[in-house]
Amino acid sequence: MSSLVQSLRTSAVKSVKRTRQSLSEKLGHGSKTVDVHLDARIEALRDIHRRYTVVLQLVNSFTTHFTALVVSQQALSTEFSDLAQKMPELHDEFAYNAETLRTLHKNGETLLGTYCALFTFASCFFLFLLVFSLVSMAVYFVLIQQKYWTS
């Protein structure tokens, strides 16, 4: 019976201390309880998130510009083909340019398809990494809080 009373007493004292600390923090009278290690890891995670966001924006911008380049190559190829037929004196030059641009367009589409697959993979990977990191941090925070509340 004595151990039960002692256990209840210890639990009540801890509860009062936590409540007092919490009220102090909320009223602005006491210093906030922080975990410096956890705060540093959270800031590092935020920095990584900012960097990944910038990388994904740059990749998206590059993909957009490269798509426009491939479309322009196709349009130029068509125009050079038309000019080759309309101007017999420059037929060879325009036909050569049209064929070169057709080849560039074909290879550009292949590269663009591969690049889009890479972009999709990178986006999924970055998202997975970020979510995994956030979940890990949440679990760590819960474990620290449980340790704080039970000690």
* One-letter-per-residue 3-state SS of the chain: CHHHHHHHHHHHHHHHHHHHHHHHHHHCCCCCCCCHHHHHHHHHHHHHHHHHHHHHHHHHHHHHHHHHHHHHHHHHHHHHHHHHHHCHHHHHHHHHHHHHHHHHHHHHHHHHHHHHHHHHHHHHHHHHHHHHHHHHHHHHHHHHHHHHHHC
One domain for residues 39 and 103? yes
One domain for residues 22 and 60? no
Query: Where in the sequence is the domain holding 75, given as residue range(s)?
Result: 34-150
Number of domains in the chain: 2
Question: How confident is the prediction along the chain (151 residues), in pLDDT tens digits per residue?
Answer: 678 778 778 877 777 776 777 677 667 776 666 667 767 877 887 888 888 889 888 988 998 999 999 999 999 999 999 999 999 899 899 999 999 999 999 999 999 998 888 888 878 887 787 777 777 777 776 776 666 555 5
One domain for residues 127 and 71? yes
One domain for residues 38 and 24? no
One domain for residues 119 and 141? yes
pTM recorded for the entire structure: 0.60
Return the pLDDT at 118: 83
Q: What is the pLDDT of residues 32-75, one digit of tens each?
A: 666 677 678 778 878 888 888 898 889 889 989 999 999 999 99
One domain for residues 41 and 75? yes
Return the pLDDT at 79: 94
One domain for residues 107 and 58? yes
